[in-house]
Amino acid sequence: MGSASENRQRKDVRWWKDDDKQPVWATRVAQTALDAYARLPNTGKPQGKERTALAVFVAHDENDDTVTPVAVGTGTKCMGSLDERGCAGDRVADAHAEIIARRALVRSILDDARRILHDDNDDDNNNNDDDDNNNNDDDDNNNN
């Protein structure tokens, strides 16, 4: 009988290779993150012996078993003084990779919500325009 953690794992996701116990899921997510990082422009990336941290939020599509990066963040800096942060709030105070990725994720979710609301409003306006046109036609018929 398997352990409790094995019983909780989803059956449709391969978590381990059968032959050498390599973590398949972690490898896929890591490769997705590295591929997303490689597609970013070189501006701001570490040069020479410099290093940075990478954080990526991914989405897993269960229908076709794909892993897609949703938000990417890099960085290791945290500004401490008010002078460094800027009094107007125009600078990011915590530029750790996890914080930047989280901010990107929240922005992505909000952008999606705005787009959905905008599309719904457009559909409602188009339906109302049709209704108004139909009502006007009826009024014209009644006046004749």
Task: Give the residue numbers marked as catalytic.
Answer: 98
d(CA 95, CA 68): 23
CA within 13 Å, CB half, 16: 6
**Which tokens hold the place of 17?**
């290779």
* 3 state SS of 103: helix
CA within 13 Å, CB half, 22: 7
Q: What is the DSSP letter of 105?
A: H
